[in-house]
Structure 1
Amino acid sequence: MTNEPKLQVKSEGRETPQGPRRALARGEGKVSKPFLLALAMHLLLFLMLFIGVHWQKQEPVAVQAELWSPPAPSAAVAPQPEPAPARPAPEPEPEPEPEPKPKPEPAPEPEPPAPPKVEKPRPDPELALAQRRERERLERERAERQEAERKAADERTRREAERRRLEAEKKKAEEARKLAEVKKAEEARKLAEAKKTEDARKAAEAKKAAEAKKAEEIRKVAEARKAEEAKKAEEAKKTADAKRVADAKAAEAARAAEAQRAEHVRRMMAQAGSGAEGSPGGSTGAASGAARGAASGGAAGAADGAYAAKLSSLIRSNTVFQIPAGMAGNPRAEFQVTVMPDCSVTTVRLARPSGAPAWDQAAERAIRRSSPLPRLPDGTCPGSLTIAHAPREER
């Protein structure tokens, strides 16, 4: 306990005691202001504790708040009493002047009464402890909140970095995929071009081989035809030679027979007498002419038959025609054929149709394939011919 000083105030020569007891005596029956302030702080603290405990039942929300306690009222500083005004110094007495009446000294001004000293309220230990705990709790909450915010910021930073990393990997994978697609397309294009080139090469080789094969076949056909023509020419020559020999023999036989008949007639005429010599001569001439005509006609018919058989055989060998099953009879088509001096056929005209257009066309093709035609026995070529041709060989 500190001893409170006693203040004495002089007023008009009387002392008035001032002090704590007097102040308390004047304040009896009234509630002091510090007490009301402390009570309000306790109520506010209990309300905040209740709200804080109630909040703990729910998901805590980061809220930053600061609680400031009002500072304790400081004791009013007692103002220093104003010093009493100094008494004015007596004026010097004037020289040889009559003494005036002495002025009355002014009464000293009374000192103002000192204000009552306000006692500093004693701090409530429970309130201070509660305030300290509240400050510590708020400090912990602020630290926890800052830590949570720091962790949240770190988590956001980590997630952002992870997102960027995933985006970079995705972009890289997409670029790699596009590059692979471009590479695959390029490889496919190269393979297609290579296949196209290879197919073109094979097609060219196949075409070349086909052309070579066709040329070889044409050459073989030409050679076979040439050989056939040579064979036919040889056969025709042999036939012509045989015919000349036969014709010569026939002519020789005819001449011998004619000579024999003439000799026989001469002998008979000689025996008949000289008077009838002219008539038998005419008869002999006529007979001889008839004999010679008969002999000559027989030789020409034999020659024409041989040539007709040779020509028919040649045309038959060049005929390509499949006889239909429903074809009745053996329809014949006649053609007028014009022949050059070298025995080559120039025109073939259908003079009499067979009634079967397919056979008419096949017969015309056979005649044209038979060009050049065989020569006559005398080595010449006929200027024109009438050729009759049927699908079945006539016997």
Structure 2
Amino acid sequence: MLDLEYSEKLEKVRMSMNTLSKSMLRPIARKYDEAEHEYPKELDVFRGLSVMGGKKKKKDGDTDKKKEKVASDTGTNLGTIVTVEEMCWGDVGLLLSIPNAGLGNAAISAVATEEQLEKFGGKWAAMAITEPESGSDSGSICTTAVLDGDEWVLNGEKIFVTCADRCDAVVVWATVDKEAGKAGIKSFVVEKGTPGFKLEHLEHKLGIRASDTGTFVLKDCRIPKENLLGSSEVKKTEGFKGVMKTFDNTRPMVAAMANGVAKAAVDFTREKLEEAGYNLDYSKNPGNLSAVEKDFYWMEAHLDAMRLLTLRAAWMADNEEFNNLEASMSKAKAGRYGTLITQKCCELMGPLGYSRENLAEKWMRDSKILDIFEGTGQIQHLIIARNILNLSSKELK
């Protein structure tokens, strides 16, 4: 039998996170949307907690259990997805501002050694990928890393870095060999305060205004040799699979963010429609539905599809199954339809949807970035097509 219900453990996580969102995040959502760049001090209660999950260290005596692997429905990734969705129902900008829950933390968790986890695991880590001349195509990164003795020397510029001002360290993507293309791209941990590493400015944004976004300039920035995540060896046959593992973890997470914002919009729409006298009767013949009812059921149907794709990608990660295709499918679907659902909410609500007395207009603004960062929807469709057609990035551009 196919069971699409949460396990008892996941349901407890969902309920506790929903309670937290209602009591803590939702009430201050508008406050920090207005006070852009001001750190939400209320989030200090999360310091030291692993909100986004993470890779656990192996205990002495652990054995290889791959041969005895049993399907898990309560793994770290599933727990993270449920947590993120419910907290983004409260506010996605605040979720992105929680200490030690940066996208760089997910990168470290994905590929760090035990020693690196010990050194950087407790730090709030941002992730710097995008450059002025390199956006959706991560393989065209121009920031360079040159090994000089026991140090890497980094030079370049990184833009649109989430948590740029508040983080303790940044995972910087740079190339160690331009001629090697994608194979030469590696990720490096650069701690704040390192000479040659400067926060140039912070952005003023359309949405997720509670989260700070900035630009870094690296000029002869020297970091220890051991701050390279993964191997420094350039293997052209493998491309940059090491750093790309990060996306297989974070894309379902971003999809969950879109799911949370979309769910907030759907719940608000339902509440206001019922107050206006609409009886949402699911037994009606589709031909007898009003235009408003059709639009609402359309919102619900796509939200269900978004959530199921996201949960599948996370479940596969927890069970050590390759989920590159599913991660991109969840991100493509949730990013696009999260935006459409929040827009539809504002349409159906009329003046309520555009008034700042409610959060509907804010959800519409917040949702747009979730279709863009961690790889745009267009890039996700390319990845999906390459996986299905078994074509390389050179064969299908």
Taking structure 2 as the reference length, the TM-score comes to: 0.19
Flag the structure with larger Rg: 1
More helix by share: 1
Taking structure 1 as the reference length, the TM-score comes to: 0.19
Q: With CA pairs under 8 Å and 6+ residues apart, which has the higher RCO, 1 or 2?
A: 2
More strand by share: 2
